[in-house]
Amino acid sequence: MPTVPGGETVPDAAAAAQLADAAAAPAPAAEYFDVDLASIYECGEELGEGATAKVHRAKLLQPREYVAVDGAHWPIPGAVAVKTMRRDVEGFNMADVRREIECMRALSHPRVLELYEVYHSEHSVQLVVQLAPGGELFDAIVERGQFTEAQAANVLRELCTALGALHERGIIHRDVKVENVLVLAAGSASGGDAPADAPADAPAEHILLTDFGSARPLAPGEMRHTMCGTPVYAAPEVLLGKGYGTCASDMWSVGVILYMLLCGYPPFFADDLPTIFALIVMGRYSFPSPEWDAIAPSAKQLVCGLLHIDPTKRLAAHDVLEHEWVRTAVARRSSLLQAVPEELARAGSRYSLLRKEAHGVVAAGRMERMLGDLRASLSGDAPKPDVQPSAADE
């Protein structure tokens, strides 16, 4: 059989024809080689673009089914999203794509983006996935113009429900960030009403966790050392190169997201990456006035429990789900987080610039040198970073 760039084997014409007929007996997230996706889906507007992929809204042209992890057959919705990864783009890695596919196959969960089908060609790999009409979480908040503690608690609960399911299977996501939290429209076919375990008056809008390209299985006792994901969400142990043998680094990223949900800007923020890294590894953050004045003390305590620099003392997903603030915040539904939409809109451009800087640093291979300088400064081999104490230490 011929191969395409990345080492993927492509069936010959006869085998490809058999795969094209496989819709009659679909497999979980069935894969098709040299089958023209355009004959099955009509791609429309672009929904987003990453370093190695583009995502488009698409319409199913003919009825098809997919098989969920539990073996149940379900119709593929008429509206889907298609993620296209071109093989000739710098940074494309078929091994990462394969791991993303296998991870999504292994986990069918209401709060995890569903994978329906995969199409391989000589030039690209295309994933047909669930459509999240609400787009990225923070864009939805800015557009809505208001946000409450109850809604923040509901988002956190759903995110930790998804991560808890992932972690129970021994899988670490390694790129938990706001861009990878999507919004389902309230009452959608995939979202429906509020889950059975949700508080009675919790918002019916749901989120989906996505992008499993960096996810990896984590065996008991195994240590990983790869610096991956998005630097501003990275846990101290990841930046320091100490290795991580649990899913605690994901939960640090959850803490960064929660902080931003409550005030509209990240806990560790500066004009350059080295200073941000120094703030992160020393756990220097605060709850400044006036944004945090009306926030429930239990919410601040939860932030501290997630942003604990010691991963062995950091809260796990199940701890978050049992936390007082997550269980009771709906009672504070009238508590508007007045600054959040405005602060998110204001911080968006600065955050975007930092993301571009981080991508540039990684692409240029300067990340390890930058982190090496930071580690040396903290070990006493160089001047300590000039970072002020924070209210979180008081």
Positions marked active-site: 175
CA–CA dist 103, 53 (Å, integer): 18
CB 114 within 8 A of CB 130: yes
3-state SS assignment for residue 387: coil
Q: How far is CA 325 from the centre of its chain?
A: 23
CB 174 within 8 A of CB 250: yes
Other beta carbons within 10 angstroms of residue 170's beta carbon come to 13
CA–CA dist 24, 329 (Å, integer): 48
CA proximity to 129, closest of 67, 82, 94? 82
DSSP-derived secondary structure letter, 114: P
Helix, strand, coil percent content, the chain, rounded in steps of 5: 40, 20, 40
Q: Which helix (H) or strand (E) element contains residue 59?
A: strand 54-60
Q: Distances in Å between the alpha carbon of 147 and those of 152, 181, 203, 314, 341?
A: 8, 16, 11, 27, 7
Q: What is the torsion angle, in degrees rounded to the nearest 10, for the CA atoms of residue 263, residue 347, residue 350 and residue 277? A: 0
Instruction: Take residue 171 and report the two structure tokens written for it.
Output: 């899988």
CB 245 within 8 A of CB 251: no
CB under 8 Å to 293, separation ≥6 — which residues? none
CA–CA dist 189, 98 (Å, integer): 28
Instruction: Take residue 268 and report the two structure tokens written for it.
Output: 């560790």
Please compute, for residue 80, the number of CA atoms within 13 A of its CA located in the half-sphere on the CB side: 30
Q: Which residue has the tokens 């989120």?
A: 207
CB 66 within 8 A of CB 76: yes
Count H helices, E strands: the chain? 12, 15
